[in-house]
Amino acid sequence: MKNISKIIFLENFFKLILKIATLIIIVIFLLMFYSLFERSMPSLMENGFYILFGSSWDPNIKLFGGAPAILGTIISSAIAIAFAFPISLSIAIFYTEYCPLRVRPIISEIMNLLAAIPSVIYGIWGLWTISPIIKLNFQEPIIASIGFIPLFSGPAYGLSIFLASLILTIMITPIIASISMDIFLKTPILLKEAMFALGATKWEVLRHVVIPFARRGILAATILGLGRALGETMAVTMVIGNSYIWPFQSISLFSPATTITSKIASEFPESVIDLMHNSSLMSLALILLLFSISISFITKFIEKGVKYR
Amino acid sequence: MYKLRVNGLSAWFQNKQVLFDIHLEFPEKKVIAIIGPSGCGKTTFLRCLNRMHELTPGARVEGKVILDGKDIYSEMDAMEVRRKIGMVFQKPNPFPHMSIYDNVVAGLKLMGIRDRKILDGIVERKLKEVGLWDEVCNDLKRSGAQLSGGQQQRLCIARALATEPEVLLMDEPTSSLDPASSARVEALIRVLKNNTTIVIVTHNIQQAARISDFTAFIYNGKLIEYGETKEIFESPKDPLTEKYITGRFG
């Protein structure tokens, strides 16, 4: 016979541990938010909205405009999602509906491996291998043919917001694809068969059963990919060219640019001696954090709205 | 006049053979019951009749299934086969993301019928046919998943009937229903056979006796006996059949 009071004590003790663990996470989040805010304050007070909308960044003359970095983050992530979304869905649909059973494990293993590769490796690969290839075989021919359109004008540097978007695409595709695969596989087989039994083709089953069912999950997977793209630092820093000319001096996608994360990563060491410089980088970090938070709020909002159909 | 003729049908899951050289003929506008113990292959047999078996990865079929003189495997497209040979499943499976209305017309929409008036007419007619109209006519926009189990199954029957199939396959359609709902489905089957050939798999021997004109007894993937239901139940030729229908195994 076990001692009842001892069991109750253990039960309460266990509950307490769970509560503490949860509390720690909440406290860490609030502390992080607070300290970012506190460190951003000097710059926010001094520069105000210039940190959001200003186009120049020169610590020597105390100019801290974050717009190029903020836009760089938004645009590179947006392009990456625009590329990665259809590619990922195609992979997931092929995997669940058309791929022979024997090949499936190979594909899912490759997806997992790709998702697990450290970002610095993507960065090095993008910098040394992809950049010259893209420059020679993509950027130069395009600039030569439709370079009169400002969005595709020269010169071709290789390192550019376009290359960063491309590397981000490659990084987030396995994430979105592998989650989508799992979601597609969870479609109730009974419902797929019901649709087949009505004379539907594979495509019609996908359209009328699989995709309506997976909609929320695909949205969640895409948001996860977007989060990764927004926050990615190392790989982007290595391939984006870290230049402040985009988009105000050159709007071309082949122009080198920067993002919030690469700005912070590349300037943080030198900024520690300059309070305003440091605080301005912190403000950018705060903006990025607010981005991430609002994205997850928007997701919740959309998820509520998007029921089936 | 035979509606459907099964000629040397064998089926496999991966390397495991589950049906062995089955020969059968289904007369038109009759109810044919397929009986046999669990796992004997009766559901697989049914799924071979409208090419659903091949949807299972690794599944394979050999032999012929001839619908009105045409082999459904070599002379017809799978989608065409499934339009002519409808199916009702063991578990009611209305599309939960569609309304009652959209469930009924799902097959018609696949065929490209979009005329609202035509669809409205078919929805009303089919729901009346399955005895669901009075219960749901005021909220056709409601999700099909909100109905009771018996109502869901009748909705699924209406969905299968909407495209006017010539043959209706039913895989233990009443096994997940309460007795009252089962009785309604059975009554429905008796009416449906005026226009349709019905093949019903059932593990309920009394049900087979009640509703079918012909009965096939399958055991371990082999057809043991096939004939008029009356004969099968009153004077079975094979001792295995007799054992099964008298409830001594299975």
pLDDT at B237: 93
Q: Is the pLDDT of residue A304 over 80?
A: no
Task: List Cβ neighbours of B118 (8 Å cut-off, separation of 6 or more).
Answer: none
| Cα(B122)–Cα(B114) distance, integer angstroms | 12
- DSSP three-state, residue B131: coil
ipTM score: 0.94
pLDDT at A308: 43
Chain A residues within 8 Å of chain B (Cβ atoms): 101, 188, 190-191, 193-201, 204, 208-209, 212-213, 308-309
Average pLDDT for A92-114: 92
- Which percentage of chain A shows pLDDT scores above 70? 97
CA distance A84 to chain B (A): 27
Which domains are seen in chain A, by residue range? 2-305 (1.10.3720.10)
- Smallest Cβ distance to A193: which of B55, B96, B160? B55
Q: Which residues of chain B are within 8 Å of residue A196 when distances are taken between CB atoms?
A: 52, 55, 82
Average pLDDT for A269-295: 94
Cβ contact, residue pair A209, B95, below 8 Å? yes
| Cα(A250)–Cα(A143) distance, integer angstroms | 14
DSSP conformation class of B99: B
Average pLDDT for A270-290: 94
- Smallest Cβ distance to B91: which of A190, A209, A308? A190
Cβ contact, residue pair B89, A194, below 8 Å? yes
User: In this predicted model, what pLDDT tens digit does every residue of A38-51 receive, in sequence order?
Assistant: 999 999 999 999 99
Count interface pairs A-B at CB distance under 8 A. 62
pLDDT band for A306, please (50, 70, 90 cuts): low
Task: List Cβ neighbours of A139 (8 Å cut-off, separation of 6 or more).
Answer: A154, A156, A158, A160, A162, A254
pLDDT at B247: 84
Q: Which residues of chain B are within 8 Å of residue A211 when distances are taken between CB atoms?
A: none
Token couple for A137: 């075989």
pLDDT at A296: 83
CB A259 within 8 A of CB A72: yes
Average pLDDT for A164-192: 95
DSSP conformation class of B130: T
Average pLDDT across chain A, whole number: 93
Kindly report the length of chain B. Answer: 250
Average pLDDT for B188-213: 94
pLDDT band for B57, please (50, 70, 90 cuts): confident
Burial class from Cβ neighbours inside 10 Å (0-12, 13-18, 19+) for residue B164 reads middle
DSSP conformation class of A157: -
Burial class from Cβ neighbours inside 10 Å (0-12, 13-18, 19+) for residue B17 reads middle
- DSSP three-state, residue B31: strand
Which range among A82-86, A305-309, B204-208 shows the weakest confidence by mean pLDDT?
A: A305-309
Cβ contact, residue pair B95, A195, below 8 Å? yes
pLDDT at A289: 94
The H-assigned helical ranges of chain A are 4-47, 50-53, 67-93, 104-116, 119-125, 131-134, 140-146, 161-185, 189-197, 202-205, 211-231, 234-239, 260-271, 275-305
Cβ contact, residue pair A309, B55, below 8 Å? no
Question: Which CATH number is correct for B2-245, 3.20.20.140, 3.40.50.300, 3.40.630.10, 3.40.190.80?
Answer: 3.40.50.300
Q: Is the pLDDT of residue B30 over 80?
A: yes
Average pLDDT for B123-152: 93
CA distance A111 to chain B (A): 22
pLDDT at A305: 59
- Which percentage of chain B shows pLDDT scores above 70? 100
| Cα(A161)–Cα(A243) distance, integer angstroms | 10
Q: Which residues of chain A are within 8 Å of residue B79 when distances are taken between CB atoms?
A: 199-201
Cβ contact, residue pair B163, A193, below 8 Å? no
Cβ contact, residue pair B106, A208, below 8 Å? yes
Q: Which residues of chain A are within 8 Å of residue B94 when distances are taken between CB atoms?
A: 194
Give the chain B residue whose CA is nearest to the CA of A214: B97
Cβ contact, residue pair B93, A200, below 8 Å? no
Q: Which residues of chain B are within 8 Å of residue A101 when distances are taken between CB atoms?
A: 57-58
pLDDT band for A143, please (50, 70, 90 cuts): very high
Q: Residue B63, by phi and psi: left (phi above 0), alpha (psi -120 to 50) or beta?
A: left
User: In this predicted model, what pLDDT tens digit does every residue of B61-106 receive, in sequence order?
Assistant: 999 999 999 999 999 999 999 999 999 999 999 999 999 999 999 9
Token couple for A277: 């410089």
Q: Is the pLDDT of residue B156 over 90?
A: yes
| Cα(A188)–Cα(A240) distance, integer angstroms | 44
pLDDT band for A169, please (50, 70, 90 cuts): very high
Average pLDDT for A27-43: 95
Cβ contact, residue pair B163, A199, below 8 Å? yes
User: In this predicted model, what pLDDT tens digit does every residue of A222-241 receive, in sequence order?
Assistant: 999 999 999 999 999 999 99
pLDDT band for A309, please (50, 70, 90 cuts): very low
| Cα(B156)–Cα(B167) distance, integer angstroms | 15
pLDDT at A1: 61
Cα–Cα distance list, A245 to A123, A287, B48, B169 (Å):
21, 21, 66, 69
Task: List Cβ neighbours of A309 (8 Å cut-off, separation of 6 or more).
Answer: A212, B97, B98
Cβ contact, residue pair B82, A197, below 8 Å? yes
